[in-house]
Structure 1
Amino acid sequence: MPYLPPPDIAGLSLAEVAELVAARKLPPVDQWEPQSSTDSLMVIKSDGRWFHDGGEIRRPAMVRAFASLLRRDADGQHWLVTPADKQSIAVEDAAFIATDVTRKDGALVFRLNTDDTVIAGPDHPLVVRGDADLPAVYLAVRHGTEARLNRSTWLQLVDLADAELAVTSLGLAFSLVPR
């Protein structure tokens, strides 16, 4: 079956976005505790490109499939997890890149480089790191993983911010200024 990219998030209502998020059936990697662990020989570069054993993975469907198996442990290590095995994966910055944002009915809706859609809020907070000269904004995605906002998405978010450079989503306020 060919992959059909999701519609533009700006043209959807919040209810339609929520339906898209709910319709995505992801493996329960948080419930799997395999005993075997190895190195996947994979790296996610800071620009969002995926590599295996030095070669770039260029098929978006493969990246989406691997991304659905990701989780990050309390020590910050990323893993590709199946019921039988977990494989470490090196991540230079964040596992995902947020490539677009729109405000819908009091919520901030983000599109990721894997075509995932994430609604910022209690389960998916925004976190700012860095300093005033070089801030970096991250969105919690799932299973401990994060998406770093790319420059254009960060600028979109700044346009949506109030005078104190804060945004709200699902009733929560998020500062865009590193503390």
Structure 2
Amino acid sequence: MPMPPVPDLASLSLTDIARLAEENKLPPVDRWNPTHCGDSEMRIARDGTWFHQGAPIGRQAMVRLFSTILRREEDGSYVLVTPVEKLDIAVEDAPFVAVEMKAEGEGHAARLAFRLNTGDLVTAGHDHPLRFETREDGPRPYLHVRGGLDALVARPVYYELAAIALSGGDSPPGIWSDGAFFPLEPAA
């Protein structure tokens, strides 16, 4: 079955985005517990590029398909899982990258939707929180996607978030989305 085309975020309302996200049924990877079979020889780079045996995977449809069977284990490792096999996959930072954002409303009534590098749509809120970490190389914003899987928010999208946070007048500065508040600075 072919994967549906990646939607154009700019042409969708947040209601449309929420409906599409709800319709995107994923395999029940959390219920699959096959025997560990080894290493997939795959890696997801920090920029979201998927590699197999050292070469980038050029077909976006393959990346989208593999992303639907990705799971994070209790020990923090990542695996690709099917009903009959489980293979390790290396992830340099986060398995997804939030590459585009659409905002509607302001303050407490704001809603922010993100398109991931895999084409998935996620609306930030209580079930999909944003968090901001500070590291030696600067701030790192993340969006929770599902089941322990996060998306690193791409730098241009982070700048959009920072502008919203700084213009909002909240103390500390932060982001509102779908009734939830996410401070821009990590808790001390």
- For the criterion TM > 0.5, the same-fold answer is yes
Secondary structure at the aligned position of 1:58 is classed as coil
Is residue 181 of structure 2 the alignment partner of residue 177 of structure 1? no
Tell me by how many angstroms 1:76 deviates.
Answer: 1.2
Report the AA paired with residue 73 of structure 1.
E
Map residues 159-170 of structure 1 onto 2, 5 A cutoff: 159-161=163-165, 162-163=168-169, 164-170=172-178
Give the conservation status (yes or no) of the 8 Å contact 2:48–2:95.
Answer: yes
Residues 13-70 of structure 1, C-alpha deviations (whole Å, 9 max, x = no match): 2221111112212111111111233111110011111111111111000000000101
Given candidates 113, 122, 127, the residue that maps to 1:123 is 127
Unmatched 5+ residue regions in structure 1? none
Give the conservation status (yes or no) of the 8 Å contact 1:17–1:117.
Answer: yes
Map residues 1-179 of structure 1 onto 2, 5 A cutoff: 5-105=5-105, 106-131=110-135, 134-161=138-165, 162-163=168-169, 164-179=172-187
Give the conservation status (yes or no) of the 8 Å contact 2:7–2:119.
Answer: no
Query: In 2 relative to 1, CA 24–177 (structure 1 residues): closer, same or farther, beyond 3 Å?
Result: same
Provide the alpha-carbon RMSD of the alignment.
Answer: 1.8
TM-score between the two structures when normalised by the length of structure 1: 0.92
Give the conservation status (yes or no) of the 8 Å contact 1:167–1:176.
Answer: yes
Report the AA paired with residue 147 of structure 2.
H
Unmatched 5+ residue regions in structure 2? none
Report the AA paired with residue 154 of structure 1.
Y
Tell me by how many angstroms 1:177 deviates.
Answer: 1.3
Q: Distance in 2 between matches of 1:119 and 1:10?
A: 14
How many residues align? The count is 179
Secondary structure at the aligned position of 2:80 is classed as strand
TM-score between the two structures when normalised by the length of structure 2: 0.88
Q: Distance in 1 between matches of 2:2 and 2:90?
A: 29
